[in-house]
């Protein structure tokens, strides 16, 4: 049973437009959520995170929204740039932050930003 | 930011041989490191948690005798795939946490012929 779900395996967006990547989770114990970006044959790189006590966290072009009641989070990238093309993984953990706790990953969404 | 390295970045071996993959935290100490495995178009799956000074804890379905983990120091964890078979071919990634986040290594592509 997959506890973190990214139901869209791929997404194509025009450069300059908004990219919205979605993630759903089933485990109500999760209290910390992260987004990672991954290029082929490389390890994931951290993008942005959000604690369950917040509903929004913003960092430059990246904003993560959390809807706890719906067990849903989304990553917004605006404006999208060709360099954003990669696979984006949603991850979740529980405990006092992601530092020392295991991450459960979704299957990823491949974002293609078209110039 | 913190850096985690892995060595080798890719390896090809014959079926039945053993392969060791190293994971190092270069500028910070990590009492815990995580080992993940990724199949094409699939999620990163946690294999085991490597603990410095004690035994690793393995996720359900991961054979501890096949995937030997040794956390030799506060900056080094190794994963040894013993008696490798073609189905072990995969992308193996380690991560090391700090207080604020986890840092991932670049991954190791293992191909077993």
Q: Where are the beta strands (DSSP E) in A4-102?
A: 4-5, 10-14, 19-25, 32-38, 45-51, 56-59, 62-67, 72-77, 86-93
For testing contact with chain A, the best of B4, B37, B44, B111 (most A CBs within 10 A): B44
CA distances (Å), A84 to each of A13, A102, A112, B39, in order? 10, 26, 8, 22
Give which of B46, B22, B24, B19 is closest to B35, Cα–Cα. B46
Residue of A nearest to B107 (CA): A43
**pLDDT of A99 above 60:** no
pLDDT higher than 80, residue B42: no
User: What six digits make up the tokens of B20?
Assistant: 């060791």
B107 vs A97: CB contact, 8 Å cut-off?
Answer: no
Structure-block tokens of residue A65: 């929204």
- For the stretch A40-88, pLDDT in tens is 888 899 899 999 999 999 999 999 999 999 999 999 999 999 999 999 9
CB-based contact B41 A99, cutoff 8 Å? no
d(CA B5, CA B15): 26
B107 → closest Cβ in A41, A89, A102: A41
Q: Does residue B6 register a pLDDT over 90? A: yes
Query: What pLDDT, on the 0 to 100 scale, is given for residue B97?
Result: 86
**Can you tell me the distance from the alpha carbon of B105 to that of B113, in angstroms, rounded to the nearest whole number?**
24
By Cβ distance, the residue of A2, A9, A99 closest to B101 is: A99
d(CA A113, CA B2): 29
CA B94 – CA B33 distance, rounded (Å):
7
Listed as own residue / partner, the contacts of A47-52 with beta carbons closer than 8 Å and 24 or more positions apart are A47/A75, A47/A88, A48/A75, A49/A98, A49/B101, A51/A97
Q: How far is B97 from chain A (nearest CA, A)?
A: 5
Q: Which residue of B has its CA nearest to A101?
A: B97
**pLDDT by residue (tens digit) across A6-52?**
999 999 999 999 999 999 999 998 988 999 999 988 889 989 999 99
At A96, the pLDDT band (50, 70, 90 cuts) reads: low
Residue A98 has pLDDT above 60, yes or no: no
pLDDT of residue B1: 66
Nearest to A43 among B49, B101, B107 (CB): B107
Would the pLDDT of B68 be above 60? Answer: yes
């Amino acid at each position: 049973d997959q506890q973190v779900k990214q139901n869209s395996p791929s997404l194509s967006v025009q450069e300059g437009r908004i990219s919205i990547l979605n993630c759903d989770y089933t485990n109500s114990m999760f209290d910390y959520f992260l987004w990672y970006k991954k290029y082929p044959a490389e390890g994931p790189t951290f993008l942005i995170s959000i604690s369950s006590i917040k509903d929004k966290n913003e960092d430059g072009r990246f904003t993560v929204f959390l809807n706890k009641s719906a067990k849903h989070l989304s990553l917004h990238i605006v404006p999208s740039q060709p360099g954003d093309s990669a696979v984006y993984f949603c991850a979740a953990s529980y405990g006092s932050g992601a530092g020392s706790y295991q991450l459960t990953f979704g299957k990823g969404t491949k974002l293609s930003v078209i110039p | 930011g913190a850096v985690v390295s892995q060595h080798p970045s890719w390896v090809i071996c014959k079926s039945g041989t053993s392969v060791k993959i190293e994971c190092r935290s270069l500028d910070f100490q990590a009492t815990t490191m995580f080992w993940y495995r990724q199949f094409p178009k699939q999620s990163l799956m946690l294999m085991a948690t490597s603990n410095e000074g004690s035994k690793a804890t393995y996720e359900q379905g991961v054979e501890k005798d096949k995937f030997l983990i040794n956390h030799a120091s506060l900056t080094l964890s190794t994963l040894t795939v013993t008696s490798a078979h073609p189905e072990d071919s995969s992308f193996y990634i380690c991560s090391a946490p700090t207080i604020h986040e986890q840092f991932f290594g670049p991954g190791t592509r293992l191909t077993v012929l």
